[in-house]
């Protein structure tokens, strides 16, 4: 079946940039998403990108998509302590939403 892979942990210093990476296998993926989950909370949609785009920027967030390599990344500029959370990459193509295992971002003050 379709698979989405992410590294499990990332630690950055406050003020630095964070880059969270994701790879997926579904060549029919049409939309790719980043969700943020803070402790004890639900999933917050951060941003998404359509598969015919290669970049999307939204304030501190930059999403890069390399469709050839099936690689997606989320860059958070000027990372703050409030950005500490689990970030899930997800894709949808011909199947319902498929999630990666999530990357736990820790921000060190």
Should residue 45 be labelled a site residue for another protein when binding is judged by CB under 8 A?
yes
Should residue 94 be labelled a site residue for another protein when binding is judged by CB under 8 A?
yes
Please choose, out of 13-21, 59-67, 77-85, 95-103, the segment that lies near another protein by the rule CB under 8 A: 95-103
Q: Which residue lies nearer to another protein by CB, 40 or 82?
A: 40
Beta strands 103-108 and 9-13 are parallel
- When binding is defined by CB under 8 A, the residue of 31, 66, 71, 81 that contacts another protein is 31
What lies within 8 Å, CB to CB, of 42 at 6+ separation is none
Q: Which residue lies nearer to another protein by CB, 29 or 79?
A: 29
Kindly state the number of chain residues that form the binding site for another protein, as judged by CB under 8 A: 22
Please choose, out of 10-18, 44-52, 54-62, 77-85, the segment that lies near another protein by the rule CB under 8 A: 44-52
Should residue 62 be labelled a site residue for another protein when binding is judged by CB under 8 A?
no
Q: 18 to each of 2, 31, 59, 107, how far by Cα in Å?
A: 26, 22, 14, 9
Q: What are the phi and psi torsion angles at 93 (to 5°)?
A: -135, -100
Please report, to the nearest 10 degrees, the dihedral formed by the alpha carbons of residues 34, 18, 77, 86 taken in order.
40
- When binding is defined by CB under 8 A, the residue of 18, 22, 33, 79 that contacts another protein is 33
60/26 Cα distance (integer angstroms): 28
């Amino acid at each position: 079946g379709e698979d989405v892979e992410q590294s499990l942990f990332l630690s950055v210093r406050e003020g630095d940039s964070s880059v969270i990476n994701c790879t997926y296998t579904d060549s029919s993926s049409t939309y790719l998403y980043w969700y943020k989950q803070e402790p004890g909370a639900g999933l917050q949609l951060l941003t998404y990108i359509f598969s015919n785009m290669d970049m999307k920027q939204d304030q501190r967030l930059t999403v890069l998509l390399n469709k050839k390599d099936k690689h997606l990344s989320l860059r958070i500029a000027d990372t703050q302590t409030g950005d500490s959370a689990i970030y899930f990459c997800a894709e949808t193509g011909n199947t319902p939403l498929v999630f990666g295992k999530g990357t736990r971002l820790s921000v060190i003050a």
